[in-house]
Every structure is written in structure tokens, then in C-alpha cells.
Structure 1
């Protein structure tokens, strides 16, 4: 094996301490253009949660779309459009989270009110007594 096929200098072979082959490169500084302002948030995780849970009127899906747009624009460096998409994603997430909490709460309140009403009423609406199922069926019999 000769050293000429590996393109090494003639005074240096692999695995030896050759100083002519190693030249230290100067350091490189990358300026990221920090303006002192934080980049806009994209709310991606919140959007995913709203998309997979209930997703009333596709509000969570809309939030997910704007979250992805905000992340893409932030990556491209367009911080103004990223901020606009971030704001839209935040408001869609707020609306979706509000509906996601409101619908189950309304269902629980309606069930509790129905049980309280049925428990306090007497007569043919006595569904919670011993003959509750028979009384319920009597309502629909001819």
C-alpha cells in the first residue's frame, strides 16, 4: 500500500503525528440577528390536544393549521407573519378549549338537574322508586 493513493503529503502517513497536514481553521461566528424580542409561540401541542379531543366545529383543526403555519414562518424568518398566525392559533385554541370544557359541563349540569327533578317529583314521574322502570313504561303505554 502506498501513500500516494490516499492523497496524503509525502512527509505524512496516516496515524502519525504530522503537523503539516493539520492546519487549524479560524473560528466562525454566526450572527442570528437577535433583536431582543422573543420569537412568536406556535401553540402546536395545545392545538394537537384540541384537535384530538372533541374538536367542536373543527376549531382545533383550524388552530393546528395556524400553529403549523406559525412554525413554518418562524423557521423561514418571517416573524411578522409568524406572529399573526400565532395569534390566530391562540384564539382558535381558546375557542376550542372553551367549547371542549363547556359541552361536558353542560351535560353534567343537565344530568344533575334531571336527577334532582326526577327525585323530587311524585306520581307518574317517580322513576327512582322501587317501581321506577314500570312507571316509566306506563308513560308510553296506550
Structure 2
């Protein structure tokens, strides 16, 4: 019989896979709301809440980069507001405890 060499007929196809990160950025809305309601030093909590809402709006509109930018700013403002609120609370606590 006539045997063909199958390996000589095979072709090599190279596949390239591109993974697109479609993970939506966080908007930190709950944290911003808590800072606004309970711990709003120098209105930083309000600014964080505004940026969180803007981030959420950008997510709904499909603008991932805009949402990421506003979310990042909201996160920084929340860190500042939480730190300032804790610091002010600590100072008030120290003043009240040491007072006679």
C-alpha cells in the first residue's frame, strides 16, 4: 500500500490570547456615605460621596476609565476623612479623660 506521512501535512497555527480586564472599578459608595453621615471633617466626607456617585454614574455610562478615576479619588478622600475623624475623636477622648 501507499502510506502517507501525516506529519508532513500538518500546519502550525499560533494563537494569541488577549485578556481584557473588564472588572469594574470600585466606587466606595457605602464608605463615602458612612463618612458623610458619621464623620464629615472639613466636608471631606461630602466630597468623597460626590466622587463616589460620579464614579457610579461613569460605570453606568460605560466609561470604565472615568469610573476608575473618580473611584480612586473617592478612596483617597475616604482615607483622609476616616483618618481625620479618628484623630479628632481620639483628641476629644484624651481631652475629656484628662480633664477634671
C-alpha separation in 2, matches of 1:108 and 1:63: 26
- The count of corresponding residues between Structure 1 and Structure 2 is 82
Give 1:22's aligned residue. none
How far off its partner does 1:37 sit? 4.1
Give 1:69's aligned residue. 54
- Give the unaligned 5+ runs of structure 1: 1-33, 116-142
Q: What root-mean-square deviation, in Å, do the aligned CA atoms of Structure 1 and Structure 2 show?
A: 1.5
TM-score (normalizing by structure 1): 0.54
- Give the unaligned 5+ runs of structure 2: 1-18
If each structure's helix is expressed as a fraction of its own residues, which one has the higher value? 2
* 1:93 aligned onto 2:99: no
The higher relative CO (CA closer than 8 Å, separation ≥ 6) is in: 2
TM-score (normalizing by structure 2): 0.75
Larger Rg: 1
1:13-71 Cα shifts (integer Å, max 9, x gaps): xxxxxxxxxxxxxxxxxxxxx82342110000000000001311110100000000001
1:110-130 Cα shifts (integer Å, max 9, x gaps): 222334xxxxxxxxxxxxxxx
